[in-house]
Structure 1
């Protein structure tokens, strides 16, 4: 009898220890699942149009008469969420602690479209299937949108391509804006990039108006 009692007592605590161990293991597993991972960047950069159509503004036209802004092309080193830094003629790095909130090609398209609406007053649409019906197509290649370490400057360079349906050959023109004396940090670079991108967008809009 005494032996039986001893065995019962010795077996009793084991399920408790096992349950405690399982609870701890589950907690550790859960904490791993909800971990936020690496520290997020200090700045998420975006482009915002300096000139916008006022609230209530109406542009009415047939879709065939619209200005269509297409996604610009870009090299792989630029068509990413990181901000390129030109170190020298053969080396490119990326700006620390800064990411675009969306790829710069798509952001520049939206910025250019909004600037065109504000400066031309015409119907402006973006990408999609509209290119098959629009009167004026605006595309091109985003050559540079980043920081030049040798010049301590932000540079935005865009090779625009304009196609007017039934109205002559394709036209191309290079546009550029430079903001000098920029500190190589996320916030000042982001502000300068927005300024330079708006400058280029205004130049393109004036070209289209002319």
Structure 2
């Protein structure tokens, strides 16, 4: 009888010990952040373009500190932390590419594609690097730096230009304030890129 009771008790103790040691995933943040464009193309508007007039906007490359859904805080030249409980809904490079596409399409008459949409010829291609997309702790500002590279439709010429925008966080570094400041800075950069492309 004693032996038959011992097995269930040992099994229960083992289960309790295991549940105290094993985590089934990190605690999710209270909400996810995204970027909202200040302008968008009009619904129902049809556009037609030949190969030279189309523009394909590629997802930018990014340094390792941005290859995460967390938001980096540059503390000094050698130290980076991340905003507590702040997380993008998807990779910031993809969010920025989508914001850029919406803004350029709204502020120009061009047919704007992304790399998953063109079928044969991508036309001109806008590539680049998202160099900064986080917070500068020293100035308490959200910082967006985008190095754009425009390749013509024949691939025979390349034009580069760097864009930068800073927006004050406006208080303690916390998810909502940082998300709003980064969205404002990203929209400013996207607007300047659209103006440059309109030339």
- C-alpha distance in 2 between matches for 1:132 and 1:172: 25
User: Is the CA contact (8 Å cut-off) linking 1:43 and 1:186 kept in structure 2?
Assistant: no
Aligned residue-pair number: 197
- C-alpha distance in 2 between matches for 1:103 and 1:66: 26
Deviation track 1:52-110 (CA, whole Å, cap 9, x = no partner) reads 01211212224563110001011011121110000011111111110111000011111
CA RMSD of aligned residues (A): 2.9
Deviates more, 1:130-139 or 1:87-96: 130-139
Residue of 51, 62, 73 corresponding to 1:85: 73
Residue of 108, 111, 119 corresponding to 1:123: 111
Q: TM-score, normalised by structure 1?
A: 0.80
Higher-helix-fraction structure: 1
Deviates more, 1:174-183 or 1:193-202: 174-183
Residue of 189, 200, 203 corresponding to 2:178: 189
Query: Which structure 2 segments of 5+ residues have no match?
Result: none
Aligned twin of 2:40? 52
Question: After the TM superposition, which residues 55-66 of structure 1 pair with which residues of structure 2 at under 5 Å, given as runs?
Answer: 55-62=43-50, 65-66=53-54
- C-alpha distance in 1 between matches for 2:82 and 2:11: 44
Question: After the TM superposition, which residues 1-210 of structure 1 pair with which residues of structure 2 at under 5 Å, given as runs?
Answer: 37-62=25-50, 65-128=53-116, 130=118, 133-166=121-154, 169-183=157-171, 184-210=173-199
- C-alpha distance in 2 between matches for 1:182 and 1:80: 24
Larger Rg: 1
- C-alpha distance in 2 between matches for 1:181 and 1:76: 23
Q: TM-score, normalised by structure 2?
A: 0.84
- Once the two structures are TM-superposed, the CA of residue 23 in structure 1 deviates from its matched residue by 11
Deviates more, 1:52-61 or 1:159-168: 159-168
- C-alpha distance in 2 between matches for 1:186 and 1:117: 29
Moved over 6 A (4+): 20-25
- C-alpha distance in 2 between matches for 1:110 and 1:38: 28
Q: Equivalent residue of 1:77, what SS?
A: helix
User: Is the CA contact (8 Å cut-off) linking 1:45 and 1:99 kept in structure 2?
Assistant: yes
Q: Equivalent residue of 2:166, what SS?
A: strand
